[in-house]
Structure 1
Amino acid sequence: MLEHNIIVIGTSAGGVEALTYLVKNLPPDLNAAVIIVLHVSSHGTSVLPKILSRASNLPVSHAQDGEAIVHGWIYVAPPDYHLLVERGYLRLTRGPKENRCRPAIDPLFRSAARAYGQRVIAVLLTGVLDDGTAGLMAVKMRRGVAIVQNPDNALYAAMPRNAIENVEDIDHIVPLSDIPSILVALVNIAMEIEPENPIPSKMEFETEIAQLNLEAIENESTRPGKPSTFGCPECGGILWEVEERNLLRFRCRTGHAYSAETLLATQSDAIEDALWIALRALEEKASLSHRMAARMQARKQTLAAQRLKEEAQSALERSAIIREVLLKDNTNTNVD
């Protein structure tokens, strides 16, 4: 008989509140390890273990590289490191960002599925965009259990909603209040040993990338998909299309990975940055042209002054169009 004794949890926006509620309602004798990724800034410090410790019946700490996995303990990914699961211990790596995040949820779920197969319970909570969806697919490929917070109950609905739309065989879609009792029930129920599905080569490859395995990254014969026409926003390399059931993802040669939705969001950010740069350049050109026109006018160089005034007016007209686009986009922002 086997037990579900590896619980992996992923969340982003709204996650501190959700995690605090969840750990508060786990019993002190939980016969499982709980391993958490919350999207945090790569450049900041994380006080999540302290926050959760105040509510939890279980000890909570930042994971350490090579640390043994102990049941009845909660491990939290530190900033700027992927948290990966190996058989019996944890790994921290500074592998390529996935979905613009490090730590990211997909590498945690994927590595847990590879190491522990059907013993894994993966929980996806409130958040934006769709990190965690590909990881849930990996868990289900290895016969683990997938639990997703009901989007109607989530502070930010996009992350759980995207998982529901793309992962066909989620086991539980429930309000946050139901998740602790489901976890306890699953951990306490022994399950029949079933033949494990083999580890897909793509799952092996992507986990090796997160571990910064240079041999896997540089192996020309191992590519996750077919070349696309898009460039990686982080390094400029060609992105490869990776299709998994309903989900379209992208990964570059050096390992940066994006869902289609995250790639679109990244491109939108790049366009906005470019527009702000163009706006500043046009306004500076208009200001300089006006100053030069005044100097030409003072020297009685009427034609030159008129030409510079026209250039200034043209720059202001173009900058007004760009400013209108930027302000319109900002007022239409809607984050689920």
Structure 2
Amino acid sequence: MGEKKHKKVVVIGTSAGGLNALIKLISQLQDNFEAPILVVQHISADATGNVLLDSMNKKSNLKCSHAVNGTKLESGHLYLAPSDHHLMIDENEHILITKGAQENRSRPAIDPLFRSAAVVFRNDVIGILLTGYLDDGTAGMVAIKRCGGVCIVQDPQDAEYPDMPKNALNQAKIDYCLPIAEMGGLLYQLISMKSGPLKAVPNDIMIEAKIAKRVLSDLPSVNALGEQVPFNCPGCGGVLWKVDKGSSMRYRCHTGHAYTSATLVAEQTMKIEETMWTALRMFEERKNLLTTIAKEQSGSAAKSALERASLSQVHIDRIKAILLSNDKGTTG
């Protein structure tokens, strides 16, 4: 990679409560802001993100737009991740949009953006993590820090949903923790400062960045990140590897799905619930069929059908009790 075209790059990740948080942050910046800004906001696959984008354009002096694959990064511009696609930066400092595997149950996900920015910009990347559920972005913050960049999180007491900032504070070496109202001034200070010593990109971060970009999806690459564990990927059913690097447990399959321990539990819980609802429907259908058969027959055949219908009702009651226990993973 040749000489950098930008002194710095700012990457921002947020989830629940992100609309208000992003508007409050970028309204502090002027159109001459000397760095490109890339944003991942968790949104559903069928959403457009237009509401957020329109609100930012009304409240901000920056040029805000949906990120388009191959676009050259420009200072004073904000690029919002499109729905159902990951947003990353390629080695030529252009936008890379992919339909890769979900990470932390999300696409777009925060970690792929943060990781790619860390690989390309190293000590010239500024990562910001705002309000949201669970812990997407924490591993990305660790990658930014290990590559020499600066990490900023919203003060959890200032966040509408404090999980993401709290998890990052617990798992990563964060440089600044402050309310959004103070972030604009800090950003202007940071982009005017001389960068620290250049660090080499650790091999495991490079491998994960390449997997997210769909450059790698082979077993030796994932084997280099950690050891296989006796769990299956909820996304594709493949084997999972435990990623050894970093202070928190993470898991990845060779096709690209990635999970923190919290999102893996949440995804497993959701899959279990889906399975339980399917089982409930099948047992109820079985009971109804056996009851119908009992009405159409007599003697021992009718008695046998009623007994099996009664047993189906036992299973129905058990499944309903499990579903009503409300042991659900929380989504961001």
The alpha-carbon distance between structure 1 residues 334 and 130, as it changes in their structure 2 partners (threshold 3 A), is closer
1:228 matches 2:229:
yes
1:133-160: CA deviation from partner (whole Å, max 9, x where unpaired): 1100010001111011122221112111
Note the C-alpha offset of 1:4. 6.1
Query: Quick one: which amino acid aligns to residue 308 of structure 1?
Result: A
Residue matched to 1:259? 260
The alpha-carbon distance between structure 1 residues 161 and 4, as it changes in their structure 2 partners (threshold 3 A), is farther
Residues 88-167 of structure 1: matches in 2 within 5 Å? Answer: 88-167=93-172
C-alpha contact 2:284 2:316 (8 A) present in aligned 1: yes
TM-score (norm 1): 0.91
Query: Quick one: which amino acid aligns to residue 71 of structure 1?
Result: S
After the TM superposition, list the runs of 4 or more consecutive aligned residues in structure 1 that deviate by more than 3 angstroms. Answer: 332-336
Note the C-alpha offset of 1:333. 7.5
In the alignment, the residues of structure 1 paired with residue 219 and residue 295 of structure 2 have an alpha-carbon distance, to the nearest angstrom, of 63
In the alignment, the residues of structure 1 paired with residue 185 and residue 36 of structure 2 have an alpha-carbon distance, to the nearest angstrom, of 16
Residues 27-66 of structure 1: matches in 2 within 5 Å? Answer: 27-47=30-50, 48-66=52-70
C-alpha contact 2:147 2:202 (8 A) present in aligned 1: no
In the alignment, the residues of structure 2 paired with residue 206 and residue 309 of structure 1 have an alpha-carbon distance, to the nearest angstrom, of 57
C-alpha contact 1:4 1:121 (8 A) present in aligned 2: no
C-alpha contact 2:266 2:329 (8 A) present in aligned 1: no
Residue matched to 2:248? 247
In the alignment, the residues of structure 1 paired with residue 136 and residue 163 of structure 2 have an alpha-carbon distance, to the nearest angstrom, of 10
SS in 2 for 1:247: coil
Where in structure 1 are there 5+ consecutive unaligned residues?
none
1:185-211: CA deviation from partner (whole Å, max 9, x where unpaired): 2223x22x5432211111111111111
Query: Quick one: which amino acid aligns to residue 168 of structure 2?
Result: A
Query: Quick one: which amino acid aligns to residue 86 of structure 2?
Result: H
Match of 1:211 among 210, 213, 217: 213
Q: How many residues align?
A: 325
Q: Which moved more, 1:222-231 or 1:271-280?
A: 222-231
In the alignment, the residues of structure 1 paired with residue 36 and residue 71 of structure 2 have an alpha-carbon distance, to the nearest angstrom, of 12
1:157-194: CA deviation from partner (whole Å, max 9, x where unpaired): 21111111111x20111122222222122223x22x54
1:100-132: CA deviation from partner (whole Å, max 9, x where unpaired): 222111011011111111111100011111110
The alpha-carbon distance between structure 1 residues 159 and 4, as it changes in their structure 2 partners (threshold 3 A), is farther
Note the C-alpha offset of 1:95. 2.1
In the alignment, the residues of structure 1 paired with residue 61 and residue 100 of structure 2 have an alpha-carbon distance, to the nearest angstrom, of 32
C-alpha contact 1:125 1:159 (8 A) present in aligned 2: yes
SS in 2 for 1:294: helix
In the alignment, the residues of structure 2 paired with residue 56 and residue 225 of structure 1 have an alpha-carbon distance, to the nearest angstrom, of 43
Residue matched to 1:71? 75
Note the C-alpha offset of 1:335. 7.3
Where in structure 2 are there 5+ consecutive unaligned residues?
none
Match of 1:326 among 305, 323, 326: 323
Residues 176-215 of structure 1: matches in 2 within 5 Å? Answer: 176-188=180-192, 190-191=193-194, 193-213=195-215
In the alignment, the residues of structure 2 paired with residue 27 and residue 206 of structure 1 have an alpha-carbon distance, to the nearest angstrom, of 34
Note the C-alpha offset of 1:302. 2.2
1:295-321: CA deviation from partner (whole Å, max 9, x where unpaired): 11xxxx222222222211221122112
SS in 2 for 1:263: helix
In the alignment, the residues of structure 2 paired with residue 170 and residue 329 of structure 1 have an alpha-carbon distance, to the nearest angstrom, of 34
SS in 2 for 1:244: coil
In the alignment, the residues of structure 2 paired with residue 289 and residue 187 of structure 1 have an alpha-carbon distance, to the nearest angstrom, of 72
1:240-265: CA deviation from partner (whole Å, max 9, x where unpaired): 11022311111111111111111111
1:21-67: CA deviation from partner (whole Å, max 9, x where unpaired): 11112123211111101112223322132221111111101112121
SS in 1 for 2:325: helix
Residue matched to 1:277? 278
Note the C-alpha offset of 1:13. 1.2
C-alpha contact 2:114 2:141 (8 A) present in aligned 1: yes
